[in-house]
Amino acid sequence: MPEETIVKDPFKTEEYMINMGPQHPATHGVLRLLLTIDGEIIKKVEPDLGFIHRSIEKMCERDSYQQIVHLTDRMDYLSSHINNEAVCLAVENALELEVPDRVKVIRTIIGELTRIASHTLWWGVIGMDLGALTTYFYGFRDRELINDIFEETCGARLTMNYNIPGGLMFDIHPNFVQRTKDFVKHFKTKLPEYDQLLTGNVIFQKRMKGVGLLTKEDAISFGTSGPVARASGVASDIRKIHPYSALDRVEFNEVLFTEGDSFARYRVRIQEMWESLSIIEQLIDNIPDGDYKVPTKAVIKLPKGEFYQRVETARGELGVYINSDGKKNPYRVKFRSPGFSNLSALNHMAVGSKIGDLVAMMATLDLVVPDIDR
Amino acid sequence: MTNNELQKGIEPWFSDLEFTEEGTQFLTLTVPKENLHELMQKLRNEPDMQFDYLFCETGMDWGTSLGVIYHLRSTLYGHEMVVKVHTTDRENAHIDTVCDIWRTAELHEREIHDLFGIEFTNHPNMKVLILPENWEGYPLRKDYVDEINMIIR
């Protein structure tokens, strides 16, 4: 054998780049990640966004405040009711409009139902991402019941548009209370099943524990919020820091873990579903009587100034920044979306781990791409 | 700290700081862009300030000037404030990056760069994030015109 053809170091590897997405089953939407890898070890993750950027912020500048509400449920479509609520609260606070108690309670109940619906979908999908297809059907089975309640309430199952500035679009359906109670009763028997099926599974735990570590300092520096931050021990629940609607009159625990790995993020969401059930139970029997909206002017004009309103969606802190110059359209609207900030931590979490673990990290970040792109 | 205490604490740092509180729930501070980075570093690191959480970074077009609005919170003390910075140079807008102080700013500043055309000095990766690479103009600026895709009312 001639000397030149002998490979000096047969284990020498080189870095190269591959695309993950935009069409990839684990990205749940059109998110493109540019991975720099050495063998199977990730050296760098660079997100490339904008495949479904609709420039909602620009569209808001030409729309009236009632119309803006309808754009927001196209951001994080799994938290559509809570997104709507954020804009409505911002407008109501700017107008110093006090909505009836009935509205506040209904908004909170449906908000928590939305959170459970989002988390059940996430739970179904995380199992599927890691190779356990059964969870997908269990998650969707229970989410379907919530969607049915929504459909009966306002006609829509996903993009609800149930909130309007000043209250709700319609009153709740006569069946609402009973169906919600039935769901709570049903889901309380199903949630332990989730634990039996997935949480205790050894393979699942091995793929989650110690994967995608995010320390408390990093979680703060990367601006993470929601379950991602709380799994790293950052008390960031807006429902506790700045309670809105009826959340100041209910008791619930802010779920905190300190491990900061994927399994902690998983457990935060499971625990949060229990807390949401508890919030619904506290409110569902005491929906006050009264109007379901207060009249607003046909053309809403906010006073001159800047208004910032935040709410806790299923993914974390959604901020709505409205800069008004006193006209019927806002001068500038900015949505601080939880997914965008959470995504900024992905590169830091993924460097040094394997591609398969990246799927687990993305699943526990719970990315919704329209929320990131806006 | 209350807004008043914050203001008293920050005022001596630089000579030309401008505080406003009208029409917003936060203490708002406008800073000349030359002092931005130093001020932010102090807000982050001073023991009684500790603004460690940049929860919102907004690009802004005020017509005559471009700028950025930073919403800051301290997870330790719970106090919050807003910092604003302007630049009047619309053709060649430059503002110092803060992504060495809060790492979340890296993505936010790339988004602002795409949509407002503000270059962030010392940013490690000032590439196009959202728009296609051959896109012309900055869509969120007020003077942006796109006759095909925009509905003007």
| pTM (two decimals) | 0.87
DSSP H/E element including A47: strand A41-48
CA distances from A152 to A83, A172, A210, A255 (A): 20, 9, 43, 31
pLDDT at A159: 86
CA angle B78, B79, B83 (to 5 degrees): 135
For residue A288, the one-letter residue type is P
Sign of the dihedral through C-alpha B127, B131, B135, B138: negative
Q: Is residue B118 part of a domain?
A: no
CATH of residue B48's domain is 3.30.460.80
pLDDT at B136: 82
- CA B64 to the chain's CA centroid: 16
Q: How far is B16 from chain A (nearest CA, A)?
A: 23
> Mean pLDDT throughout A5-17?
73
pLDDT band at A116 (very low <50, low <70, confident <90, very high): very high
A200 contacts: CB under 8 Å, gap ≥ 6: none
Task: Identify the weakest region by mean pLDDT among A178-182, A243-247, B11-15, B63-67.
Answer: B11-15
At A19, list the tokens: 């695309």
pLDDT, tens only, A139-155: 888 899 999 999 988 88
pLDDT, tens only, B68-113: 999 988 888 888 888 888 888 888 888 888 888 888 888 899 889 9
Question: Using CB atoms, which residue from A58, A306, A321 is nearest to B23?
Answer: A306
A51 touching B, CB under 8 A? no
Domain range A53-373, CATH class: mainly alpha
Count of the separate structural domains present in chain B: 1
Cross-strand partners of B57:
B70
Q: Which residue in chain A has the smallest CA separation from B140?
A: A58
B5 vs B42, higher pLDDT: B42
> Mean pLDDT throughout B126-141?
85
> Mean pLDDT throughout A330-352?
89
In chain A the first and final C-alpha atoms are separated, in Å, by 61
Q: How many residues are listed for chain A in this entry?
A: 374
pLDDT, tens only, A44-103: 888 888 888 888 888 888 888 888 888 888 888 888 899 999 999 999 888 888 888 888
pLDDT, tens only, A242-278: 888 888 888 888 888 888 888 999 989 999 999 999 9
A259 touching B, CB under 8 A? no
Rounded Cα distance between A197 and A191, Å, is 10
**Choosing among B26, B27, B62, B130, which should be mutated to test the A contact, i.e. which has the most A CBs within 10 A?**
B130
A229 contacts: CB under 8 Å, gap ≥ 6: A219, A220, A236, A316
Cβ contact, residue pair B75, A220, below 8 Å: yes
> Mean pLDDT throughout A27-56?
85
Q: What are phi and psi of B100, to 5 degrees?
A: -80, -15
Rounded Cα distance between A366 and A167, Å, is 30
Evaluate the omega torsion of the peptide bond into residue B12 and state whether it is cis, within 30 degrees of 0: no
pLDDT band at B21 (very low <50, low <70, confident <90, very high): low
> Domain-by-domain residue ranges, chain A?
53-373
Cβ contact, residue pair A305, B69, below 8 Å: no
Size of interface A-B (CB pairs under 8 A): 92
Q: Is residue B29 part of a domain?
A: yes
Q: Which residue in chain B has the smallest CA separation from A322?
A: B24
A371 touching B, CB under 8 A? no
pLDDT at A370: 87
- Per DSSP bridges, beta strands B27-31 and B18-20 are antiparallel
> Mean pLDDT throughout A287-304?
85
- Per DSSP bridges, beta strands B66-73 and B80-87 are antiparallel
Cβ contact, residue pair A57, B140, below 8 Å: yes
B152 touching A, CB under 8 A? yes
A357 touching B, CB under 8 A? no
Q: Is residue B149 part of a domain?
A: no
Rounded Cα distance between A334 and A347, Å, is 25
Please give the residue range of the domain that contains residue B50: 3-96
- A-contacting residues in B 131-150 (Cβ below 8 Å): 131-132, 139-140, 150
pLDDT > 90: what percent of chain B? 1
Number of alpha carbons in the 13 Å side-chain half-sphere of residue A175: 10
